[in-house]
Chain A
Amino acid sequence: MNAIIITAILGIVLMFSAVFVKSKTTPLYIAIVGIIAAIIANSLEMVNGTPFFDVDTKGMFDFNTFGLMFNNIAFICTLFFFLLSGKDILAVGNNVGEYFALLFFILCGVSIAATFNSLLMLFVGIEIISIPLYILTGTDKRNLKSNEASLKYFLMGAFSTGIMLMGIAFIYGGSPNGSFILGTLNLGGDKMPALLAVGMVLLLIAMSFKVSAAPFHFWTPDVYDGAPTVFTSFMATVVKAAGFVAFIRLFENSFGTIQPQWQMLIAIVTAATLLIGNITAVFQQSVKRMLAYSSIAQAGFMLFALFALNVKAKDGLLLYSAGYSLATIGIFAILIKMKDYTIEGFNGLAKTQPILAITALVFLLSLTGVPLTAGFISKFYMLMAAAENGQMVWLIVLAVLCAAISAYYYFRVIQAMFFKEPAEGVQTEGAITPAFKAMLVITAAFIIIIGCYPEMILYWFHSY
């Protein structure tokens, strides 16, 4: 509850800060202090079990450790995002206060999506996430690609929202006691009523759209490519992870008992996502677009949590959220500083900007899933969860083969940075301050620490 209320208040404060404060950097500092406050408040709720604000939610929320733990991970990743790319948010346009306000509204939506216990709250959470994102995608007002991306995202998003509402309506109509609360839908075991089954499939489609799982991923590359790079970074990490947490919460709590009936469906979606994401990423020349496809590919791995739906899957999803988000935020922070977004633009970066190149190496190795990095341990947990499930070995073998394919496109960037000669002229633009470099090193260090000692995160989840 703390997280939802504090982020909402901060959103409003930041919105008005633009009116009352003239300085352009003030909203960034408010945002950093605010997100730290949100982390502390949320942690206290997790440890003590009681929120600051005693609100009777009538069972529409369930503040369990998984959701609260995810809030913490999302907030900490956002803190890293602010510290690494905050200056670049200021550079997007003039309405800085609004950008931060929208980001905090998204975080409010993330907290709702991570702790909902009612289909209505799921809808509210997902919409609070989506609507600010439509706006943020279009913030580069004079860029046609940004406008196109925003409109495309809005139209497709509105469509999927419609499908989700329809799914919720079907389920409400189909469940005998007419309830929105997840645990009480009364699905009727093996003989699920047709209305409920249709509702479930519609929800599956809508959620797949939100997390950009194939075959509902078509919006992702264009939107990620068109949006200002700072916001792509946020969209591809915290928001996507929140989508998965909502997805697994929905399916575990409402359809967990009938898992065998939908497991094959998820397996097909997972396989399609892995194949399409990885194979298409191989052909990209622009690093930004490549990262868009890689985010689809990584979504394929996160879908394993849904496929397996056990304790290790939840552990894995938490680790994946942290590891994948940090690495992607880091690589995007470097990408923003590059003049040329193609892979050739990275040529010889190790010579001109060694710190950037070495930290980018850690981020890319983590995305590939090489041991010692958070990326490995999170992929490992996902595979372990699926193996514990015991079925469909082919899916796991397919996943590791796709991971091997992913080495191909991540290593193209590594090869460019380390083994090729730099082109003439300056490669980077914007100030690369010592503070930025230090922050990159801290992010990379975090990735390695999580990779060596993942129980740093899991301990919290298992103890409270």
Chain B
Amino acid sequence: MNCDNIYITFPELLIWFPLVAGLIAFMLRKPAMVKAWALLASIITLCISLASLLYITDGEKNFCLNNVSYVWLQYIGSSFAVGLDGTGLVLTLLTAIAFPLIFAATYKNNYKNGHVFYGLMLLAQAGLMGVFTAIDALVFYFFWELALVPVYFLCSRWGGEKRIQATFKFFVYTFAGSLLMLVGILYVYQHTGGTSHSDHSFSLKAFQTVKLAMADQKWLFWLFFAAFAIKMPIFPFHTWQPDTYEQAPTATTMVLSGIMVKMGLFAVIRWLIPVFPEATALFDNVVIGLSVVGMLYASCIAIVQDDLKRLVAYSSIAHIGLMCAALFSAQQVAIQGVMIQMFSHGVNIIGLWIVIDIIEKQLGVRKLSQLGGLAHKAPVLTVMLVIIALANIALPLTNAFVGEFMMFSGLFKYNVWITAAAGISIILAAVYTLNMIQKVFLGQANTLTEGVKDIGWEQRIVLSILVVLIFMMGLFPQPMFDLTKGAVEGLISNFKNG
């Protein structure tokens, strides 16, 4: 294909711009300036991402604008190859939307050494963009790890009291998982291309067309899945998650729960199912079983949590579990649901964290037992939270309803009993969410919550944007279906062939 007159492509812009912006942020010393710069940079990234949506139709020029490959390591057949496709577009868009919202919502927070904080945040964004656009296994692994490193420093430096231990647990868990994936990548690589060693390649195409014996697929599947399951996280690899969410600074928690957990799901869609179709078909029941157990387990624990952050952390495990189960059900409608839910979950959970951050910043506590009666004092905040919380439990009209409905109907086709078990988690979700609303916002105000003020204009804007997104996607999800249709059909054909 002739791509001569195209100098830079969208995926490159999405990676390099936040990276350069992050490096610039390190050099800015004035706190006000670095904040404004981070916000501006993230808005520019959003514009780039939105612009890329205009060029998604087929055609030579658009292909050239969305895919690029440079020779990187010629002796081992790895190229710096990045590209945007349906699944990637959804998640790059989510990443691009999330960062300006996070920066705006926490605009009033002052961080010690703010230039390092915002610099690392932007580097994390660059890493995430890389993960969602990489179409070369080695490049993918690079970004997979590089997204982790800034987040590790953000959590350990600006987090809560037990941040060092909690974050270190997170780092070692994910690092060990990634290394297992690296072994998997190396073994798949040995089987790509021809028989001679010089024909091997790390490209996504080579990985997806590789012919692996069933015996090899069986153990390679688990090497890859270990990395992805830890990242998502899937029961029983989830133990790092509540501690890290609790201890991380809220802006980073939003990145972790809104976007980084989607890395695991995304990787399953792009690197696991297409590469190991037979093993996926063989182990789908194990994975779905683990996911459903995790959902129920996390939902039950969420009910008894007294800490708002931990409550949302456990609810996130439950939601991710459902997405993972739906992914492995191999039903078109369920996978379509996963695509839309990945985006919706990101929007909703970031909204929840923003509300929790507002409460914590004002009152200094986030224990359910110490809060109450906020509705009288902060009506706008309450309305916003109720909408976001209801979206989180997938009420009709909201974005999550569309996704969850489709996932459940897909799961239903897969197995009725599994669906029934998973369905219980919906009821449990309603229990803990409504309980939270009741304890925090309703009832009598106590001495602590007496002096609460309603939210400021920048938080109103951010939450309004989120609420608009929630309703927009709840009422009119069709654009998202169109965006991901090709990717879903491709994935389904993998199952069929496998």
Contacts and interface: CB of A to CB of B under 8 A. Distances in A.
A404 B172 contact: yes
B190 interface: yes
Nearest to A451: B142
Nearest to A406: B175
A397 B180 contact: yes
A132 B352 CA distance: 66
A315 B30 CA distance: 46
Given A401-B176, A404-B175, A387 B190 contact: yes
Given A370-B149, A415-B164, A419-B164, A455 B74 contact: yes
B307 interface: no
A83 B171 CA distance: 35
Interface string A397-438: 100110110011001000100110000000000000000000
A164 B56 CA distance: 67
A384 B176 contact: no
B146 interface: yes
Given A371-B146, A390-B190, A407-B172, A455 B75 contact: yes
B297 interface: no
Contacts of A446: none
Contacts of A415: 156, 164, 168
Interface string B151-181: 0010011000001100010011001100110
A401 B175 CA distance: 9
B142 A371 contact: yes
Contacts of B186: 383-384, 387, 396
B18 to A, nearest CB: 16
Contacts of A387: 183, 186-187, 189-190
A202 to B, nearest CB: 34
A279 interface: no
A388 B176 contact: no
Given A372-B142, A387-B190, A415-B164, A408 B183 contact: no
Given A371-B145, A388-B197, A403 B179 contact: yes
Contact of A388 (B75, B145, B153, B190): B190
Contact of A400 (B163, B168, B180): B180
A273 to B, nearest CB: 18
A312 B76 CA distance: 9
A380 interface: yes
B155 to A, nearest CB: 10
B141 interface: yes
Contacts of B168: 411, 415
Contacts of B153: 418
A454 B142 CA distance: 14
Contacts of B172: 404, 407-408
A462 interface: yes
Interface of B is mostly: helix
B141 A404 contact: no
**Interface residue range, chain B:** 20 to 34
Contacts of B76: 312, 384
Given A404-B176, A415-B164, A370 B187 contact: no
Nearest to A389: B190
Contact of B179 (A312, A384, A401): A401
Most B CB atoms within 10 A — which of A387, A396, A419, A454?
Answer: A419
A60 interface: no
B141 A371 contact: yes
B380 to A, nearest CB: 37
A392 to B, nearest CB: 12
A458 interface: yes
Contacts of B180: 397, 400
Given A415-B156, A415-B168, A418-B153, A400 B75 contact: no
B116 to A, nearest CB: 10
B157 A400 contact: no
Nearest to B153: A418
Interface string A347-390: 00000000000000000010000111000100010011001101
B168 to A, nearest CB: 6
Contacts of B197: 311-312, 388
A400 to B, nearest CB: 4
A462 B74 CA distance: 11
Nearest to A403: B179
Nearest to A420: B164
Interface in A147-199: none
Interface string B379-417: 000000000000000000000000000000000000000
A384 B73 contact: no
Contacts of A401: 176, 179
B210 interface: no
A388 B192 CA distance: 12
A384 B75 CA distance: 12
Given A371-B146, A388-B197, A400 B156 contact: no
A455 B73 contact: yes
Contacts of A400: 176, 179-180, 182-183
B149 A407 contact: no
Nearest to B141: A371
B75 A462 contact: yes
A390 B153 CA distance: 37
Contacts of B176: 400-401, 404
Interface string A45-64: 00000000000000000000
A396 B75 contact: no
A371 B175 CA distance: 11
Contacts of B141: 371
A304 B75 CA distance: 19
A387 B188 CA distance: 10
A390 B75 CA distance: 19
Nearest to B155: A419
Interface string B193-205: 0000100000000
A384 B184 CA distance: 11
A372 B146 contact: yes
Nearest to A458: B75
Nearest to B223: A397
A387 B179 CA distance: 14
Nearest to A396: B183
Nearest to B219: A393
Contacts of B182: 380, 383, 400
A397 B183 contact: yes
Interface string A210-246: 0000000000000000000000000000000000000
Contacts of B175: 404, 407
A402 to B, nearest CB: 10
Nearest to B73: A455
Interface string A433-459: 000000000000000000000110010
Nearest to A383: B186
A462 B73 CA distance: 13
Contacts of B149: 365, 370
7 contacts: A312-B197, A371-B141, A400-B179, A407-B171, A408-B172, A415-B156, A418-B153
Interface of A: 311-312, 315, 365, 370-372, 376, 380, 383-384, 387-388, 390, 393, 396-397, 400-401, 403-404, 407-408, 411, 415, 418-419, 454-455, 458, 462
By Cβ-Cβ distance, the 7 closest A-B pairs, closest first, are A400-B179, A404-B176, A387-B186, A371-B142, A371-B145, A419-B156, A407-B175
Interface of B: 73-76, 141-142, 145-146, 149, 153, 156-157, 163-164, 168, 171-172, 175-176, 179-180, 182-183, 186-187, 189-190, 197, 219
Given A312-B197, A393-B183, 12 more contacts: A365-B149, A371-B145, A383-B183, A384-B189, A387-B189, A390-B190, A400-B180, A407-B171, A407-B172, A408-B172, A415-B156, A418-B157
